[in-house]
């Protein structure tokens, strides 16, 4: 049980009957709203094909690749990238048991997920590049940050 499921089991019923959770129809920053829209689409297409962990891992990769493309001080460490991608790409055994058409579908869903997130992250970076890159600097400076594929700061 992760922190969210613990929170859900314990707090959501209480919150729902008292103050209630805020709906995302409340003012949401435009950049967050755009990101959530893409996340909703990706969740829809990945559905039962990819696990939430795989989708989250692909988003993390896309976010960091978009950062490296958009922010001057960032670059990708190819070895770290390959390791991170291998961790979220379905294993060969999962492909082997599928007909060819389903193998192609699985590969396509991975690539569309990655591509969708790449597009959204590049868009967000272009909306406020300085703030986007400053946030990435904070992420890079955090030793507990998971799955970083950026090269060490020059």
Partner 1 sequence: MREPDQVFFPADLPGVTCYTRAQQCYRNGHYSARATREVFWN
Pick one of 9, 53, 107, 111: the residue that binds partner 1 (CB under 8 A).
53
Question: Interface with partner 1 includes 48 (CB under 8 A)?
Answer: no
Question: Interface with partner 1 includes 18 (CB under 8 A)?
Answer: no
Minimum CB distance to partner 1, residue 105 (Å): 23
Question: Interface with partner 1 includes 47 (CB under 8 A)?
Answer: no
Question: Interface with partner 1 includes 141 (CB under 8 A)?
Answer: no
Question: Interface with partner 1 includes 32 (CB under 8 A)?
Answer: yes
- What count of other Cβ atoms lies within 10 Å of the Cβ of residue 132? 20
Pick one of 75, 77, 137, 139: the residue that binds partner 1 (CB under 8 A).
139
- Asked if 70 and 129 count as a contact pair (C-beta separation under 8 A), the reply is yes
- Asked if 30 and 60 count as a contact pair (C-beta separation under 8 A), the reply is no
Minimum CB distance to partner 1, residue 95 (Å): 24
Pick one of 14, 18, 19, 29: the residue that binds partner 1 (CB under 8 A).
29
Task: Kindly state the tokens that stand for 105.
Answer: 């579908």
Pick one of 46, 50, 58, 60: the residue that binds partner 1 (CB under 8 A).
60
Please state, in angstroms and as integers, the Cα–Cα distance from residue 84 to each residue in 7, 58, 91, following that order. Answer: 29, 9, 13
- What count of other Cβ atoms lies within 10 Å of the Cβ of residue 136? 21
DSSP state of 128: S
């Amino acid at each position: 049980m992760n922190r969210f499921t613990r929170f859900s089991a314990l707090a959501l019923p209480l919150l729902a009957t008292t103050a209630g959770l805020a709906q995302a129809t409340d003012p949401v920053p435009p950049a967050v709203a755009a990101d959530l829209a893409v996340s909703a689409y990706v969740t829809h297409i990945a559905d039962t094909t990819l696990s939430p962990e795989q989708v989250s891992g692909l988003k993390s990769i896309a976010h960091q690749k978009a950062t490296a493309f958009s922010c001057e001080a960032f670059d990708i460490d190819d070895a770290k990238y390959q390791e991170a991608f291998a961790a979220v790409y379905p294993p060969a055994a999962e492909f082997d048991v599928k007909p060819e058409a389903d193998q192609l579908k699985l590969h396509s869903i991975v690539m569309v997920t990655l591509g969708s997130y790449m597009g959204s992250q590049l868009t967000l970076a272009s909306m406020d590049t300085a703030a986007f890159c400053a946030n990435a600097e904070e992420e890079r400076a955090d030793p507990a940050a998971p799955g970083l594929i950026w090269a060490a700061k020059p």
